[in-house]
Amino acid sequence: MLGMIGLFGGLAILIFLTMKGMNLLIAAPITALFIAIMNGIPLFPQLVEEGAVNFLTNYMGGFTGFIASWYLMFLTGAIFGKVMEDSGAADSISQWIVSKIGMKRAALAVVIACAVLTYGGVSLFVVAFSVYPMALSLFKQADLPRRFIPAALAFGSTTFTMTSAGSPEIQNWIPIEFLGTTPYAGGQVSLFVAIFMFVFGYWWLKRMISKAVAKGEKFVARDTDKEVDMQRALPNPFLSMIPLVVVLGITLVFHNLLGTSALIISLSGGILATFLLNKKYFQNFGHAVGEGAMGAVIAIANTAAVVGFGGVVKATPAFEVAVNVMTDIPGSPLIGGALAVAVIAGLTGSSSGGQAIALPLLAPHYLDLGVDADALHRTVAISSGSLDSLPQGGYVVTTIRSIAGETHKDAYPAFGALSVVVPLLGAVLAVILFSIGL
């Protein structure tokens, strides 16, 4: 019981500290230490046998492991975003979009841009880095409150695209290993759910922005914002889109061969394409690359801090008990599977982590019961993208703080509504549709 209190108490404390604005590099290890103590886990490797569970090894293993796996993706993604900004390509695209769909649909433009890149296989973190400069320009021109930018980025990336049938994102591929399905599992239901999430989510986002504007909220510029010179010559908007197409195309070509490593090639290609196509429009190419590199370090450190927290959580006896409880929930196996994956994703701050931990336990048990593998695949995929977006999640902190420079207090209400509530409703709809035999 003490271990379980420590587990969920530690998560609650981490969420509280994150919402209060504490640096995640401090909050995550402190709360992980609290969980370790409450679960009787030794603090240092010198106090246990070689290879045994201990706080320091498990935390730093998760922390450094994430950096080792993702640093170059973060680096190239952040630099790509910055060179798109410095060359004026992001401004050119945003002005063209506004001219076609109008200022009032600036948020829709951001959502669509994120959706296209995400469904094309670009990492969620990279999408946020790449689209943010355009989003900032769009929101500034439309005079919309900038605190909604993280919500628009997350909605376009982590809801109706990330976990839909055919998506090359890892959240749609992990179940294949355990269920013997395909990326298109549950395609018909997935389409219905994706349409629901898009329509309902965009309506909600638009409503929140409209209410804020009606109360007098406007775009507030900051000293750190790059000033937009309205007299500045900008590159052709169609040529400016070519680097995005390059990123998407290279990712699609090399994804099956190289997996996530294809992102390094595709983003490097995007950087090169931006430089070659817009060379004469750059203000300071070298400075943009340097700023992108520094931004990548901050972003990946914040994310790795939460992954380290998850490394300690997964090592606790209480976590194993919690997993067993979730997998033994009575009723429809789809409900139990969806809930188990969602809760574990919330505890570890990772949608892919929630699947990777739950499916080895769920899959054999439910398949033996005759559960439709395609239905289980789609249900757990959709549900994995819900509670992983609680305030302490690595993607959440990176997008809100490191990329957008907002506070949780200002940005998270809309962010959580679209990236937690909407996917949860989508998972419920999927269970219902599968249950009636659709």
Instruction: State the average pLDDT over residues 61-78.
Output: 84
- Predicted pLDDT of residue 433: 94
Instruction: State the average pLDDT over residues 293-321.
Output: 83
- Predicted pLDDT of residue 383: 93
**Which two tokens mark 160?**
């109706």
- Predicted pLDDT of residue 122: 63
- Predicted pLDDT of residue 194: 95
Kindly tell me if the per-residue pLDDT of 228 is higher than 60. no
Kindly tell me if the per-residue pLDDT of 415 is higher than 90. yes
- Predicted pLDDT of residue 430: 94
Contact residues for 249 (Cβ-Cβ < 8 A; gap 6+): 266
- Predicted pLDDT of residue 192: 95
| pTM score, whole prediction | 0.76
| Nearest residue to 35 via CA among 63, 62, 10 | 10
Contact residues for 245 (Cβ-Cβ < 8 A; gap 6+): none
DSSP letter string, 220-276: ---TTSPP--TTS----HHHHHHHHHHHHHHHHHHHHHHGGGHHHHHHHHHHHHHHH
- Predicted pLDDT of residue 29: 93
User: Percent of the chain having pLDDT more than 90?
Assistant: 23
Kindly tell me if the per-residue pLDDT of 138 is higher than 70. yes
Q: How far apart are CA 254 and CA 267, in angstroms?
A: 12
Residue 33 confidence class, pLDDT cut points 50, 70, 90? very high
Q: How far apart are CA 247 and CA 316, in angstroms?
A: 40
Kindly tell me if the per-residue pLDDT of 43 is higher than 80. yes
Q: How far apart are CA 390 and CA 393, in angstroms?
A: 6
Q: How far apart are CA 184 and CA 190, in angstroms?
A: 9
User: Percent of the chain having pLDDT more than 70?
Assistant: 94
Q: How far apart are CA 225 and CA 136, in angstroms?
A: 9
> Under DSSP, is residue 393 helix (H, G, I), strand (E, B) or coil?
coil
7 near 316, Cβ under 8 Å? yes
Length of the chain: 438
User: Which residue would you say has higher pLDDT here, 197 or 120?
Assistant: 197
- Predicted pLDDT of residue 420: 94
- Only one residue has tokens 């973190």, namely 125
348 near 357, Cβ under 8 Å? yes
Q: How far apart are CA 82 and CA 233, in angstroms?
A: 18
| Nearest residue to 415 via CA among 134, 156, 120, 98 | 156
Kindly tell me if the per-residue pLDDT of 229 is higher than 60. no
DSSP letter string, 144-206: --GGGHHHHHHHHHHTTTTTSTT--SGGGTHHHHHH---TTTTHHHHHHHHHHHHHHHHHHHH
Instruction: State the average pLDDT over residues 288-298.
Output: 85
Q: What is the mean pLDDT of the chain?
A: 84
Instruction: State the average pLDDT over residues 324-344.
Output: 79
Instruction: State the average pLDDT over residues 291-315.
Output: 83
Q: Mutual orientation of helices 237-258 and 262-277 as an angle, nearest 10°? A: 160
**Which two tokens mark 379?**
């249900």
The model's pLDDT over 241-285, given as tens digits with 9 standing for 90+, comes to 888 888 878 877 886 787 667 778 888 898 999 999 988 888 888
**Which two tokens mark 72?**
């170059």
Kindly tell me if the per-residue pLDDT of 123 is higher than 70. no
Residue 339 main-chain phi, psi, to 5 deg: -70, -40
Kindly tell me if the per-residue pLDDT of 13 is higher than 70. yes
Kindly tell me if the per-residue pLDDT of 347 is higher than 90. no
